[in-house]
Amino acid sequence: MAQTINTEVTRTDARRKVTGTATYAADETPSGMLHGALVCSAIAVGQVTAIDTSAAESEPGVVAVFTHETLPDYKTVKGFYAGGPGSSSFWPMEGTDIRYAGQPVAYVVAETAAAARRGADLVNVTYQEADGSIHMDPEDSFVVGAGEDSEGMVLTKGDLQAGLDEAAQTVDMTFTTPFQHHNPMEMFSATAEWRGDRLTVWMPSQSVRTLRHGIAGAYGLPETSVRVISPFVGGAFGSKAGITPYAMLTIAAAKGVGAPVRLIVTRPQMYTVATFRPESRQQFRLGADAQGRLTAFEHVEIAQTPQFGEIVNPGTHITRAMYACPNIHTEQRLARSDTNSGGFMRAPNEMQTFFGLESAMDELAWKLGMDPVELRRVNDTMTHPTEDVPFSSRSLMESYDAVSNSFGWDQRGREIGSMTDGDWLVGYGCATATYPTNILASNARVRAQGTGNAYVELAAHDVGTGTYTIMAQIAAARLGLPVEAVDVVMGEADLPVAPISGGSTTAASAGSAVHDACVKIAQQLATQISGMSEGPLSGVDPSRITLDDGTLRGPDGQSQSVMEALQMIPEGEIEVVGTFRHPALTDQLIKATFSGGYGTAGPVTPEFAMFAFGAEMVEVRIHKYTHEIRVPRIHSAFAAGTWLNRKTAHSQLMGGMIWGISSALHEVTETDKPRSRFLNANIAEYLVPVNADIREVRVEMLEEQDDYVNPLGVKGIGEIGIVGTAAAIGNAIYHATGKRLTALPMTISDVLST
Amino acid sequence: MPKTPPDLRRPGVSRRGFLQGSSVVAGSLGIAAGAAQAQDSMPSAEARTITMNVNGKVRSLSVEPRTTLVEALRDTLGMTGTKIGCNQGQCGACTVLLNGMRVNSCLTLAVMAEGAEVVTVEGLADPNGDLHPMQAAFAENDAFQCGYCTPGQIMSAIACIDEGHAGDEAEIREYMSGNLCRCGAYPNIVAAIVQVRDSQQG
């Protein structure tokens, strides 16, 4: 039996993806389907005063034009951050209020996509415009919640001022990060088909059960009447989690016309009808003694939130877990502006906060005259700095040592600007990455057959992460089967409960439920075969029979393969539902997940703090005359418990680092301040790396054992890759030029003007 | 890379400044047009019948002049292997081969393919099920994650070698830069193309 865990396994869905037979939501065409198109608001704040639909309605092919006055009614649902299933707590086309630019104001249904687009262009909307601002005013911010609250939005430990006073060196720095949009390659879409009071929705989703819960609630239907199907998702990164207005509008329009309707949201509309990464300001004050030990740590994060909701991605909860320090103060603040709801975009608490923290740490190292790696080593800790519990495992310095070796950190020049290559200034930079190990309840159904195959079913998702493959690997390893003998079915709300694919949780939580199902199959099998008159385990106490990856073993060396044992029982197969209920999951959290929500425990439990760690090192080259910034190589090392699949895990970490390069040097949603709207709302002017932007990317995956996080010892890895990259690049730019850049993205003009 | 390089001789004029400046113009144009959406759609017109060879099969289909090739493939012929990632020629997800040349099928009108040979991702594997070497190399090298840009990447990769633009990794990166991959599989895409190029030369 070849090894199936902690090895390189080609994706089980690879063939479907390279032949064009993987079916994404918009590839489904129910019989008689019509096409939808959105008309979106041309103003940001104000009122709709009139909508003239006559030209659109007389356009050939147009079937219907819905406005707030004519769209079939449904009950709106609460937004995600208010504990509901919605992507926003404000629902467009409920009335005449305009709260953000690009808000849907009308919905056209037509026989073809081209006719729907034409119809949408012919809808004439008249507005009364009011003043707005797309940017927050950080000077007008407020603390989330009620100050010193149980969620730790404001936290004070020790005496910050005393720590600053006693420090040998201090830094006081403010960083800014911009609005960013996820821009998955797959455009948002929804296809809705009503048959009486039964509804089927095809929609790319990170949480099919959240969608079903929200839709059923909106129409007062039992959840069994609603099917939500999303077998393949063309990238999500946080943008396809909650139920969005465009989905609700499509479902209502399909009800209104009495035929299935498919909406493909246009790329420009994707910037306003769903969520984004809010802009932020990160304020850090650090102090350290002459040996580099931190004496003071302050982080105040101010993040943008809409007028009608509070979008809280608490980055201070993560930064304060990073380094030992006796005097700590953190504050999580928000400031309002006129946008749709932001949300979570890959490493929503970490990307922007670690750009600040790790840049400030680098500045501190220069002031102290220390190697920045040594500054991290001096402040490394095996105990959470504010929660007084040990880390379940923490391999930060092992990561630094591994990446230093791979990168050649010892070749780094000691002085600023000391490394050149022809007309290029060369700089090396490093930064820490971490990501919390979040825990969610999950179930999974496994059916093992003595004929040598197995079926795994759960309402999880493969958003490109490799979930189909790792679920098959886990079952294959436990049952003693080749990976290709395991069929995995996911992406449907009707399947056994599995959590939202967010917060890097699926492999750990849903994977542990698959593992548990296989253990239960073995237990049931042990009971049956020990009671039989023949066989190697006949008469053995079943409680003393253990599962050893495909083999049942008795206490005295007796053994039988799971597949042989299955052939002995009359059914020839066993089907069970496995569960994952980590001890840290309270009844309330389990209830939240089982009712379609996000009942996450961790990363801090009463016993341990659970995080994955890593370190990144980059080389930048800045042209002496043009100031062009290049990243010829980026190396990293990560430790995140057990690696399930070294091929797909490598891709996730590498992809995360490329996202980090993107955040550092490319991505920004530009704004039109006078008109309070996003400006570069397309995938050419919203810059993301192209192939030519990416050179050498090297990832080392360290071995780490963690028996506390879950039975598999897995920590999530979907997001950690992005976390340290922007700071590492900024620190390398500083090393090359002596210019400290404090705003993302870092551009040629920033190098010129700083 | 910035599409509009900053003017280095004029301090204060950054890419951001340029875009914000032009936005004011665009904004006022939008209002002057009566606050309707930007008009980029085409009017309807009588459908006509065109014939093209798709993956070796002659297909006749009725399309409006405004129908794009990708809509004809997906909506009229039901061939959904070709994906739409932006519908405005920016991402390359819809890349197909038109008479052997790679094109964005969202920027190509179906009527322009009258009499042409079109090859899509569905036309690459051997009828016996064997994958095209580029498909196999993409699978083996994990040259994708979500898989959505993959049909376009594979069509582009085949053309990249056929055009003679796969000389070294830098050239491959340059000539594959019309196909965006948001998951960040670029290094693995290059590795897949190198592998196929070397096996063809071998």
Q: Which among A59, A183, A232 has CB closest to B44?
A: A59
**Which residues on A lie below 8 Å from B140 (Cβ)?**
10
Q: Does B138 touch chain A (CB under 8 A)?
A: yes
pLDDT-wise least confident of A169-183, B34-48, B60-74: B34-48
At B4, the pLDDT band (50, 70, 90 cuts) reads: very low
**Which residues on B lie below 8 Å from A113 (Cβ)?**
71, 75
For the segment B48-74, the average pLDDT, to the nearest whole number, is 97
Q: Which among B64, B142, B146 has CB closest to A114?
A: B64
Q: What is the pLDDT of residue B41?
A: 87
Last residue of a domain, one of A565, A594, A623: A594
Mutation target among A7, A11, A16, A18 for the B interface, most CBs of B within 10 A:
A18
Tell me what ipTM this predicted complex has: 0.97
Q: What is the pLDDT of residues A699-738, one digit of tens each?
A: 999 999 999 999 999 999 999 999 999 999 999 999 999 9
In a domain, A118, yes or no: yes
| Contact across the interface for A684 and B90, Cβ inside 8 Å | yes
Q: Which among B1, B121, B184 has CB closest to A654?
A: B184
Residue-number span of the structural domain to which A344 is assigned = 138-179+277-437+605-753
- The residue with tokens 């991290």 is A376
Q: What is the pLDDT of residue A149?
A: 54
**Which residues on A lie below 8 Å from B6 (Cβ)?**
747-749
Q: Which residues numbered 162-191 in B keep a CB inside 8 Å of some CB on A?
A: 170, 172-174, 176-190
Q: Which distant-in-sequence residues (6+ apart) come within 8 Å of A212 by Cβ?
A: A223, A226, A227, A228, A493, A596
- The residue with tokens 């090895």 is A7
Q: Specify the pTM.
A: 0.95
What is the DSSP code string of A416-477? Answer: TT-EEETTEEEEEEEEEEEEE--B--EEEEEEEETTTEEEEE-S---SSS-HHHHHHHHHHH
Q: Which distant-in-sequence residues (6+ apart) come within 8 Å of B168 by Cβ?
A: none
A173 in the same domain as A161: yes
| Contact across the interface for A672 and B23, Cβ inside 8 Å | yes
DSSP code of residue A7: B
Minimal C-alpha gap between A220 and chain B (Å): 33
| Contact across the interface for A185 and B30, Cβ inside 8 Å | no
Q: Write down the catalytic residue from A492, A616, A619, A719.
A: A719
Q: Does domain B133-201 have CATH number 3.40.50.1820?
A: no
**Which residues on A lie below 8 Å from B16 (Cβ)?**
668, 670, 747, 749
A481 in the same domain as A574: yes
Rounded distance, CA A111 to CA A35, Å? 6
**Which residues on A lie below 8 Å from B97 (Cβ)?**
none
Closest chain A residue to the Cα of B154, Cα to Cα: A18
A387 in the same domain as A419: yes
Q: Which among B27, B78, B145 has CB closest to A655?
A: B145
Sorted by where each begins, the domain ranges of chain B are 48-123, 133-201
A102 in the same domain as A66: yes
In a domain, A13, yes or no: no
Q: What is the pLDDT of residue B37?
A: 45
Would the CA dihedral through B64, A56, A106, A43 be positive or negative?
positive
Active site residue A719: yes
Q: What is the pLDDT of residues B83-133, one digit of tens each?
A: 999 999 999 999 999 999 999 999 999 999 999 999 999 999 999 999 999
| Contact across the interface for A118 and B31, Cβ inside 8 Å | no
| Contact across the interface for B85 and A20, Cβ inside 8 Å | no
Rounded distance, CA A594 to CA B166, Å? 51
| Contact across the interface for A626 and B8, Cβ inside 8 Å | yes
Instruction: Return the bridge partners of A645, or none.
Output: A7
Rounded distance, CA A615 to CA A728, Å? 9
Q: Is A741 in contact with A730 (CB distance < 8 Å)?
A: yes
CA-wise closest residue to A4 among A641, A477, A517, A456: A477
Q: Which residues numbered 97-116 in B keep a CB inside 8 Å of some CB on A?
A: none
Q: Does B148 touch chain A (CB under 8 A)?
A: yes
Mutation target among A11, A12, A17 for the B interface, most CBs of B within 10 A:
A17
**Which residues on A lie below 8 Å from B135 (Cβ)?**
18-19
Per DSSP, the three-state class of B173 is helix
Q: What is the pLDDT of residue A624?
A: 94
Last residue of a domain, one of A548, A575, A594: A594
| B33: alpha, beta or left? (left if phi > 0; alpha if psi -120 to 50) | alpha
Q: Is A473 in contact with A483 (CB distance < 8 Å)?
A: yes
In a domain, A2, yes or no: no
In a domain, A3, yes or no: no
A323 in the same domain as A196: no
Q: What is the pLDDT of residues A252-305, one digit of tens each?
A: 999 999 999 999 999 999 999 999 999 999 999 999 999 999 999 999 999 999
**Which residues on B lie below 8 Å from A655 (Cβ)?**
145, 183-185
| Contact across the interface for A185 and B146, Cβ inside 8 Å | yes
Minimal C-alpha gap between A110 and chain B (Å): 12
Q: What is the pLDDT of residue A1?
A: 55
| Contact across the interface for B41 and A121, Cβ inside 8 Å | yes
Instruction: Answer whether residue B28 shows pLDDT above 90.
Output: no
Last residue of a domain, one of A594, A625, A657: A594
For the segment B156-165, the average pLDDT, to the nearest whole number, is 98
Instruction: Answer whether residue B33 shows pLDDT above 50.
Output: no
| Contact across the interface for B80 and A20, Cβ inside 8 Å | yes
| Contact across the interface for A651 and B185, Cβ inside 8 Å | yes
A490 — phi, psi (to 5°)?
Answer: -145, -175
Minimal C-alpha gap between B77 and chain A (Å): 12
Instruction: Answer whether residue B193 shows pLDDT above 90.
Output: yes
CA-wise closest residue to A228 among A210, A248, A250, A253: A210
Q: What is the pLDDT of residue B1?
A: 37
**Which residues on A lie below 8 Å from B81 (Cβ)?**
19-21
Q: Which among B80, B149, B150 has CB closest to A27?
A: B80
Q: Does B81 touch chain A (CB under 8 A)?
A: yes
**Which residues on B lie below 8 Å from A654 (Cβ)?**
184-185, 187-188
In a domain, A11, yes or no: no
A419 in the same domain as A360: yes
A407 in the same domain as A453: no
A630 in the same domain as A651: yes
Minimal C-alpha gap between A286 and chain B (Å): 31
Rounded distance, CA A170 to CA A89, Å? 42
Q: Which among B40, B78, B154 has CB closest to A18?
A: B154
Q: Which distant-in-sequence residues (6+ apart) come within 8 Å of A487 by Cβ?
A: A453, A454, A455, A456, A472
- The residue with tokens 């071995």 is A703
Average pLDDT over chain B, rounded to whole?
85
Q: Number of structural domains, chain A?
A: 3
Rounded distance, CA A740 to CA A727, Å? 11
Residue A70 belongs to domain with CATH number:
3.90.1170.50
| Contact across the interface for A466 and B71, Cβ inside 8 Å | no
| Contact across the interface for B184 and A689, Cβ inside 8 Å | yes
Instruction: Answer whether residue B201 shows pLDDT above 90.
Output: no
In a domain, A356, yes or no: yes
Residue A475 belongs to domain with CATH number:
3.30.365.10
Minimal C-alpha gap between A17 and chain B (Å): 5
Which stretches in chain A have pLDDT values below 70? 1-2, 146-150, 754
**Which residues on A lie below 8 Å from B14 (Cβ)?**
747, 749-750, 753
Q: Does B29 touch chain A (CB under 8 A)?
A: no
H helices present in A576-681, as ranges: 587-594, 646-665
CA-wise closest residue to B81 among B65, B105, B51: B105
A656 in the same domain as A619: yes
A548 in the same domain as A622: no
Q: What is the pLDDT of residue A77?
A: 87
CA-wise closest residue to B20 among A277, A183, A135, A271: A135
- Please check whether the two domains, B48-123 and B133-201, share a CATH topology: no
A288 in the same domain as A155: yes
Superfamily of domain B48-123: Beta-grasp domain (3.10.20.30)
A372 in the same domain as A353: yes
